[in-house]
A and B are shown apart, each in its own frame.
Chain A
Amino acid sequence: MATVSTSGQSHDMGLHTEKLTNRTQQRFFDAGESANLTYAWAPEVDTNKVGTLDCEGMDATAINIRIRQLMSEGCGTINLSNPGSMHGLCVGILSRLQLNVTGSLGYFGCGLIDGPNVNISGRVGWSCGENMMAGTIVVQKNAGSTFGAAIRGGDLVCRGDVGSRTGIDQKGGTIIVGGKTGAFSGFMMQRGRMIILGDAGINLGDSMYDGTIYVGGKIEGLGVDAVPADLNDLDRKWLKSKLDLYGMEAPNGIDNMQKIVAGKQLWNYDNLEPSEKKLVL
């Protein structure tokens, strides 16, 4: 575990202004955040050794077992084809791996991963990348709802449009959406950052505890306790480096992106008197 730090650039960017008494296990990021893109403790793999996996006629369990077999044989790259939008594929991969998926995944694709770099040529269903710890997932087309639910690290990228509740309960990492997202994106977000290059639906950042949401398009409505904040130079620098990494651009330029953070008025909510609750709601 990395050393717990109570200072760093995340403070300079306006996050973590709260006192961290009795709070541990919080890893702060540097602006480049490259350390989060692969699992730091995983052994190196030979990406030149390529395994292929045709999913035609296989069920999800058999496919996931086969991925592990190929990894144990030393394959650092796996090219997976014909996934047929099946659910629960490519889950629980806990090591470095270059995984290239030709086709679309169903629900819970690439959930619980810790370290692989995944490219998906098609679309993903609900809850792609749920609980991912590290690594990258790049989806070339659209994604369903609860994209990146409760992710804790790594980069989760969708070049197309995403459904509702994107990044619900996000606890770390970065979610990047090339198009628009639906309602309740960033709902109960706790840490991490989300970049939405298109429009965002109603109740954006509803009940967020912390974290930052950047929006390039229109925001249909902010949720409870989500408040606008000013972009600073560190935001712009980080946004540029992150978007450059995936060859993406803000439609109206980075300078015109909106930044949304938690108002933190709901913190210690339970200690408020009923009359005070009315004030914050």
Chain B
Amino acid sequence: MCGIAGLIHKKAGGANIGQEMTDMLQALKHRGPDSTGYALYGAPISNYIMRINLAEQADTKKGFDVATQLQSRNDQVDARMAELGAQVAKKENSTSYALRYEVSFDGDLKNLIDYIEDIEGVEVMSCGNGLELIKDLGDAAVVSAQYGINSFQGSHAIGHTRMATESDVDIRSAHPYWAYPFADVSVVHNGQLTNYWTNRRALERLGNRFNSNCDSELIAVYIANRISEGDDLEKAMRRSVEDLDGVFTYLVATSDSLGMAKDVMAAKPMVIYESDDFIALASEEVSIRKIFDHDIDTFDPYEGEVRVWQL
């Protein structure tokens, strides 16, 4: 089933979007308790923020000498960054397997990421100047506490609660997906894509990388591919409604915009609240109401509808 949510604060300075998104996602827990993910957009910095996972959560709870293996992968990440001239300004461990880097780097970003992901078990979850992409197993309260999300200040965010239907319950199949290799672009999706393999094969032939078998990753790769072909976000999303088959509602966020698209049968829900300085979207109104203590006016977008909001 899955639940998705998004919010935009247009006022300068942003707001406590970490707490707000946690509240929204926790209200959607009944739509999927398997995993929870956030794409939070804070004030942009000059360095790249990279979120790197060294292993799946489940892999860290079994096997022999796990700590040594994680340390070894971590050392390799550091070594490969240094090798390509990326200077680490800051490094934090959210968990034993999830790292957050702030990196100064002038070279080919795709090349750097490919080189890091070449290490066995290592995945670059996201890269950008403002994007913090966090996803893990459990509901919003669990993930939020684990990664200290509730104090996060920023301008906009998208989030996801997952009920796994098409692929495994693991972090790599959780949402949001980063639109590798484009900085600050992320996607969350509710639905099923029925032409996943057809599109995946076509996109793989063009050199795109897939890290999971989750159909939702296709949307991120599709959008990334269209952007690389010169489409702007809205054009790419409109095209996706034609090209992607199945039932879906998805959200895409970039450093300065947030968009939603709905399939031509409008089979997956979405509710929108709009005011002059705040926009909220969610699979259910009960999620948006967690931010307000009073009644609000909302509406459903229609079939095949694409909307993009600029910050």
Contact = CB atoms under 8 A, between A and B. Distances in A.
Contact of A123 (B264, B265, B266, B285): B285
Given A107-B284, A145-B269, A183 B264 contact: yes
A106 B286 contact: yes
B303 A144 contact: no
Interface in A104-133: 104, 106-107, 121-123, 125-126
A164 B265 contact: yes
Contact of B271 (A103, A144, A164): A144
Contacts of B298: 104, 123, 142
Contacts of A154: none
Contacts of B271: 125, 144
Contacts of A125: 269, 271, 284-286
A62 to B, nearest CB: 16
Interface in B277-311: 284-286, 288-289, 295-300, 302-303
Interface stretch (A37-45, A82-90, A257-265, A268-276): A82-90
A106 B297 contact: no
Contact of B266 (A104, A106, A145): A145
A161 B299 CA distance: 8
A182 interface: yes
A253 to B, nearest CB: 26
Contacts of B296: 104
Given A164-B303, A201-B303, A184 B285 contact: no
Interface residues of B, number: 18
Contact of A182 (B285, B297, B302): B302
A68 interface: no
A122 B295 CA distance: 8
B266, B288, B302: which has the most chain A beta carbons within 10 Å?
A: B302
Interface string A153-173: 000000011011100000000
B269 A144 contact: yes
A164 B289 CA distance: 23
A60 to B, nearest CB: 10
A53 interface: no
Given A145-B300, A164-B303, A182-B303, A126 B295 contact: no
A105 to B, nearest CB: 9
A84 B289 contact: yes
Contacts of A144: 269, 271, 300
B303 A84 contact: no
Nearest to B268: A145
A106 B284 contact: yes
A201 B297 contact: no
23 contacts: A84-B286, A85-B284, A85-B289, A86-B286, A87-B286, A104-B285, A104-B296, A106-B285, A122-B295, A125-B271, A142-B298, A142-B299, A142-B300, A144-B269, A145-B269, A145-B300, A160-B299, A161-B299, A163-B266, A163-B302, A182-B266, A183-B302, A183-B303
Interface of B: 264-266, 269, 271, 284-286, 288-289, 295-300, 302-303
Please list the 8 inter-chain residue pairs (A to B) with the smallest Cβ-Cβ separation, ordered nearest first: A164-B266, A85-B285, A163-B300, A183-B303, A85-B286, A182-B302, A85-B289, A142-B299
Given A142-B298, A163-B300, 6 more contacts: A85-B284, A123-B299, A141-B297, A144-B271, A145-B300, A183-B265
